[in-house]
Each structure stands twice: as structure tokens, then as C-alpha cells.
């Protein structure tokens, strides 16, 4: 029993030491370290006083950093602080100190309204500890260890561990970075970039607001491809760094933003799902149904952009493959220009070639579908192409037939001499047997 209590106490001690390490300011870290020492020694009044001093130093250092960034309000407060210090004006100094928590809330947005209330309690308790006030005529104010620990944790978690920019200012700064042409378009590089930004130790509200802004921009604004890549990299990086608040924001807002989209803008959603990692499982049933219908009916002007992406999206891949089976020769040719061919596309190419209804269509399909894909066809697909040639006079009579079939023979790594000669002999196309020195033209 005693061993368990000792172990629990040890965990608490380690936890407090971790609080010290979280502090951004060197001076604040020193005072919080003293506060922790006081707490362990049972000097709870001294612990609370040192905690408040740490908050003061942290606030001043944040003002200095904000001034360097061009914040006019920070410059005004620092000018006032330096004047008070130079004149040793105790009255103004006390007034300045009383306003620190209010200023941290507004205009600097370093804390939230709820955090403001908790830190205001720290100010009250610090005054009880530092001044000769008594709870009764004969009894000194004696805070509990729990109260001292409460103030310690609040000071670090709410203020001391965070960079000087939070709230709207932090959001504006991060968005300005993402809008920049030099912002990375890859997740890992974006993570490295954010290591030196307000996203190092952000409040959950900052992460949430940033995710919502990026969602709305990506899905509701006409961005160019590079701007989309930067936002996708940012979202993936933020999720890597702060998974829980990011996924909570996606869960709460993604479907809402999608429902506000027009049908004519759904290509943006497809691009989003293709570039932002693992978002399919956040989609509601009505949104999934809308995406499925879009995949079934992708407008011809969007086929080359949307179809290659839908093939890679979980839940849409089977519908995208089914869509391929309806593509015309020109549509299939446009899609082939965007991605590496796979079995369903090669099957469709073989079917379309076999269905050639004129010399012109046979020539077009040979040039656009057979010759470019010659090295990728399977032996079964090649067999079907040769068999179709044997029975379709519009293919066999077209002037691009022989170059197409010779390309299949000579440039497909699956084709052996034995396979080819058996196939052309069986189908009556003996003139397609290999001839020394023959090449396609």
C-alpha cells in the first residue's frame, strides 16, 4: 500500500517537472522551477507567488516578441512598462500588473475567456498570499497544496507553454504562410515549416479554426492547382502534428462544408479526397451518395481530371472502374494521358478496338489506344485483339492494323515467339509472323 502511494507521488513529481520544461521563456521557466520547489517543500504561499511572477515575466517576453513582429499594441504596452520601470513608479506598476490578465485576453488573444477566469483566480490568490491579509484576526491565509498545484498547472498550460501568437493573429499568420508561393507542397516539408510557427504548441481552438478555414478555401473557392497542393500539405501536416483536434474538426465541419457545395464544384471535392489523407471515413451517407452519383456521371470536361483520382478513393474505385466500361475512344484516350493504364482501361481499349465499325475508327483506335498501350496488354487481351482482327474486316483492312499488331508483337514483354506464332496461325493471320528486320511504321 505504501509502495503504491510512493509510486503515485513520484508520478506527480515527474509531472510537475514536465511543466517546467514546457515553459517557453527562460525567466518564466526559472520562476516556475522555484514554484515547483516550493510546492514540494510545502510552501504553498510561496509557490503561488512564484507562479504569478512567472506569468508576469512570460507576458513581458511575449510583448517583446510581438513588438518585433510589428504589433502596435505590444509596442504601446512595452513603452508603458519601460517608463514605469525607469521611474520606479510603484503605483503605476501595480496598476500595470493588475491588467496583465485582461490584456492577455484582449487585445492579444493569448488566452480564452475561460482561461481568463481561471488566471484571474491566480491573481486573487497571489494577493492573499503576498499581502498581510488574514482570513480572521488571528489566522494567516494558508492555501492548500491542491490549490497551489492547480495554479501551477493553469499558468503553464494556459499561457507559459504557448508561443506569443494565438487567436486571430496566429490564424492570420499561419494562413499568410500557406498563401505564400514558397510554402511546401509536401506533407513532411510542411511539418518542418510548422515547427517554427504558432502551431508548435497551439490551443485546440487555433487548430480547429485553421482546419475549418482550409476546408472552406479548398472546397468553396476557385484555387489553382498549386494553391490546392499547399492547402492539402498544410492539412496533412497539421493532422500529423495535432491529430485529435484536427480529426475532431474534420468530423464536425467537413460534411457541413460539402453540403454547401454546388454540383458543378464537386471536382474540387474529388481533388480534396485525393490529396488530403484518409478523409473518406468522415463522410456522411448523403455525401457518399452524392459522390457515387458524381462518379457515375462525371462530366466529359472533367473526366481526365476526376476519373484518375476516383480510382484511388476508397468507396469510389469500383464505380470508377465501371465508368471506364462506358468510355468512348476519345474519352478513354484523354484519361490515358493522365495516369498509368491498368487492367480495366486495357480491357476497354481492347473492346473498343474490336468494335471498330469503319476503317477510320480502326485507324484512330490503333493509333490512340493500341500502339501507345502495346507494352502493357496482357496475353489474354492480346489474344482478343488478334481474334477481333481476324473477324472484323474494318480492322484488318485499315492501314494502321499491321503497325499496331507488329508493335504488340515486338514491344510487349509478355509475348514469346511461340505464343505469337501459335496465335496468328490459329486465327489465320500468318502474315504477322516475325520477319527478320521488320519494324512497325
Reading the chain (441 residues) residue by residue, the pLDDT tens digits are 445 445 444 444 447 778 888 887 888 889 899 999 999 999 999 999 999 999 999 999 988 888 876 678 888 999 999 999 999 888 999 899 999 999 888 888 888 888 899 999 999 999 888 876 545 556 677 899 999 999 999 999 888 888 776 667 778 889 999 999 999 999 999 999 998 888 887 878 889 999 999 999 999 999 999 999 999 999 999 999 999 999 999 999 999 999 999 999 999 999 999 999 999 999 999 999 999 999 999 998 898 889 989 988 989 999 999 999 899 999 998 888 767 788 888 999 999 999 999 999 999 999 999 999 999 999 999 999 999 999 999 999 999 999 999 999 999 999 999 999 999 999 998 888 765 345 555
Is residue 230 within 8 Å of 183, Cβ to Cβ?
A: yes
C-alpha dihedral (93, 94, 100, 101), degrees to nearest 10: 180
pLDDT at residue 435, rounded to an integer? 55
Omega before residue 107 within 30° of 0, cis: yes
Quote the CA–CA distance of 318 and 292 in Å, as a whole number: 10
Quote the CA–CA distance of 319 and 296 in Å, as a whole number: 7
Quote the CA–CA distance of 306 and 65 in Å, as a whole number: 46
Whether the full predicted model's pTM is greater than 0.85, yes or no, is: no
pLDDT at residue 372, rounded to an integer? 92
C-alpha dihedral (119, 124, 125, 127), degrees to nearest 10: 130
Is residue 401 within 8 Å of 367, Cβ to Cβ?
A: no
Tallying the residues shown for the chain, one arrives at: 441
| 318 half-sphere exposure, CB direction, 13 A CA radius | 1
Amino acid at each position: 500500500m505504501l509502495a503504491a502511494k510512493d509510486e503515485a507521488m513520484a508520478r506527480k513529481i515527474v509531472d510537475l517537472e514536465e511543466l517546467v520544461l514546457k515553459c517557453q521563456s527562460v525567466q518564466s521557466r526559472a520562476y516556475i522551477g522555484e514554484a515547483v520547489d516550493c510546492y514540494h517543500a510545502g510552501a504553498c504561499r510561496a509557490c503561488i507567488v512564484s507562479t504569478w511572477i512567472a506569468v508576469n515575466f512570460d507576458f513581458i517576453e511575449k510583448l517583446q516578441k510581438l513588438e518585433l513582429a510589428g504589433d502596435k499594441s505590444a509596442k504601446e504596452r512595452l513603452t508603458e512598462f519601460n517608463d514605469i520601470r525607469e521611474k520606479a513608479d510603484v503605483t503605476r506598476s501595480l496598476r500595470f500588473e493588475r491588467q496583465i490578465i485582461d490584456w492577455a485576453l484582449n487585445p492579444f488573444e493569448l488566452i480564452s475567456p475561460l482561461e481568463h477566469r481561471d488566471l484571474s483566480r491566480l491573481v486573487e490568490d497571489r494577493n492573499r498570499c503576498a499581502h498581510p491579509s488574514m482570513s480572521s484576526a488571528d489566522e494567516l491565509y494558508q492555501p492548500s497544496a491542491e490549490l497551489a498545484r492547480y495554479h501551477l498547472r493553469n499558468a503553464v498550460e494556459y499561457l507559459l507553454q504557448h508561443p506569443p501568437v494565438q487567436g486571430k493573429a496566429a490564424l492570420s499568420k499561419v494562413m499568410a504562410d500557406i498563401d505564400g508561393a514558397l510554402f511546401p507542397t509536401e506533407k513532411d516539408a510542411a511539418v518542418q515549416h510548422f515547427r517554427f510557427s504558432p502551431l508548435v504548441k497551439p490551443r485546440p481552438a487555433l487548430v480547429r479554426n485553421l482546419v475549418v478555414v482550409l476546408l472552406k478555401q479548398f472546397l468553396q473557392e476557385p484555387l489553382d492547382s498549386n494553391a490546392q497542393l499547399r492547402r492539402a500539405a498544410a492539412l496533412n501536416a497539421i493532422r500529423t502534428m495535432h491529430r485529435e483536434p484536427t480529426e475532431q474538426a474534420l468530423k464536425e465541419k467537413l460534411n457541413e462544408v460539402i453540403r454547401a457545395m454546388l454540383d458543378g464544384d464537386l471536382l474540387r471535392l474529388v481533388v480534396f479526397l485525393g490529396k488530403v489523407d484518409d478523409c473518406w471515413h468522415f463522410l456522411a451517407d448523403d455525401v457518399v451518395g452524392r459522390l457515387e452519383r458524381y462518379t457515375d456521371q462525371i462530366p466529359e470536361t472533367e473526366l481526365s481530371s476526376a476519373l484518375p483520382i476516383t480510382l484511388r478513393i476508397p468507396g469510389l474505385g469500383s464505380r470508377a472502374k465501371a465508368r471506364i466500361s462506358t468510355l468512348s475512344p476519345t474519352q478513354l484516350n484523354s484519361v490515358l494521358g493522365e495516369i498509368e493504364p491498368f487492367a480495366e482501361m486495357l480491357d476497354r481499349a481492347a473492346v473498343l478496338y474490336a468494335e471498330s465499325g469503319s476503317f477510320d475508327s480502326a485507324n484512330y483506335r490503333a493509333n490512340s489506344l493500341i500502339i501507345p498501350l502495346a507494352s502493357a496488354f496482357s496475353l489474354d487481351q492480346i489474344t482478343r485483339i488478334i481474334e477481333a482482327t481476324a473477324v472484323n474486316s474494318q480492322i484488318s483492312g485499315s492501314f494502321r492494323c499491321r503497325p499496331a499488331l507488329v508493335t504488340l508483337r515486338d514491344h510487349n514483354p509478355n509475348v514469346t515467339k511461340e505464343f505469337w506464332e501459335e496465335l496468328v496461325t490459329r486465327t489465320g493471320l500468318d502474315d504477322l509472323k516475325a520477319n527478320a528486320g521488320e519494324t512497325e511504321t
